[in-house]
Amino acid sequence: MHTTTHNEQKLSDRFVAAINISWQVLAKVSESFGTSRFFLHLSGKTRRLFLVHFSQDYVRDQLSARQGECRQCGTCCNLLFTCPALTKDGGCSVYGICRPQACKVFPIDQRDIDEAASCGGQCGYYFKNRAIENSCSQKKA
């Protein structure tokens, strides 16, 4: 029983690692296309889709480490394309009805925050470990 859980955890960790490597490859491809953010957002959306469905432990852990709050800026509703459910006043027309899981958990990790930043947005969430990283790099500077 214990071994099965351990193996499942290892499998889940490998899956998350594989998704993250794929994301990095696609992000590099995106970079090579200069200012085009198409691949960056395509890979970001694909990554979130896989994570929410197949790596729920990772998503749960990330959400428990996440701090801050949604500023309702709508940046995450405009990645790759403007979501058809986005209303003219910046609301979500499917909120509380059938809002996709990937929307509910955004941002899952720092990559998502960076993706929003690449569009000029500033997500209201942040991750504890990233805050520590930032304060360390500021001290070094």
| Residues within the interface to ligand SF4 (CB under 6 A) | 70-77, 83, 85-86, 92, 94, 99-100, 103, 106, 116, 121, 123-125
Q: At closest approach, how far in Å is the CB of 67 from ligand SF4?
A: 12
Among candidate residues 64, 140, 75, the one with its CA nearest the CA of residue 109: 64
Q: Between 29 and 85, whose beta carbon lies closer to ligand SF4?
A: 85
Query: Torsion angle, CA of 52/14/40/111, rounded to 10 degrees?
Result: 70
Rounded CA gap, 106 and 121, in Å?
Answer: 13
Q: Using the minimum distance from each CB to ligand SF4, give the nearer residue, 33 or 95.
A: 95
CB of 126 to ligand SF4, least distance (A): 10
